[in-house]
Amino acid sequence: MKRRKILVGNWKCHKSFDEAITLIAEIVANVPLELDRTVVLCPPFPYLAEAVRRTRESPVKIGAQNVWQEDSGAFTGEVSAPMLASLGVEYAIVGHSERRQFFLESDECLARKVARALAWNLTPIFCLGERWEDREAGQTLAVVQRQFQAVFALSAETTTSLVIAYEPVWAIGTGRNATPEQAEEVHAILRGLAMERWGSAVGEAIRILYGGSVKASNIDTLMAMPNLDGALIGGASLSAAEFLRIVHFQG
């Protein structure tokens, strides 16, 4: 099955407002309407409304870096799915390893976030991945399977818009990325788990991204793997030239 690739730039906690607008303009100017892949930018929350406005006439989509697990309430500082949807945001990253590590987000919490995103027609990019000590102990499969099971309560119909992002924690921001073969092995496992849970049609259709020190120098070999359907890009997405080279990967 031909799955449309997705390239997602996660800016994390970087860029001033003016820098963000400049970066958006440079990217938008170099992403043609007929591009055969989806480009998503995830700037910090304060810039989302303007980012949506600046990309409205382009193929570039805007995503949030996080989303709250309830629609509304007394949750100071949180941003909910209906708020994001009302701005025109189309994607939301859920369960990034930094959220799991620094904000102690549990599998149960993340399952609720995915459900709220889907309820408001946001495409959740659900992140999972093992630590270095997990890989060294031969626990990669056990860890990603447990994390993936957090969203197994979803129906097959609901998962049509779910995106998975495999991000080995040991490769995020370290300069040490998984080899294409290592990434492909885990992606194939995740696809197999999706098939077991939701059936072969969903398993074949679900898109699984790779994240972890993705850059211009390794994107072509990563995207050559049959089960890698795109990338979640951190540091390299902060440079227009670097990110655009990734967007226009060869193959």
Number of residues that make up the chain: 251
**Domains in the chain, start-ordered, CATH in brackets?**
30-243 (3.20.20.70)
240-247 and 17-28 are packed helices; what angle lies between their axes, rounded to 10 degrees? 40
C-beta neighbour count of 72 within 10 angstroms:
11
At 85-133, the pLDDT tens digits run 999 999 999 999 999 999 999 999 999 999 999 999 999 999 999 988 8
Catalytic residue, candidates 98, 167, 184, 242: 167
pLDDT digits (tens, 9 = 90+) for 47-89: 999 999 999 999 999 999 999 999 999 999 999 999 999 999 9
- Given a cut of 70, is residue 3 above it in pLDDT? yes
Annotated catalytic, 96?
A: yes
For 172, the token pair is 């995020």
Interval 210-221 mean pLDDT: 95
Q: Is 167 known to be catalytic? A: yes
The one-letter amino acid at 165: A
The yes-or-no verdict on residue 183 having pLDDT over 70 is: yes
Three-class secondary structure assignment of 20-63: HHHHHHHHHCCCCCCCCCEEEEECCHHHHHHHHHHHCCCCCEEE
Strands 230-233 and 163-166: unpaired
Active-site choice (96, 105, 130, 187): 96
Two tokens, residue 103? 């904000």
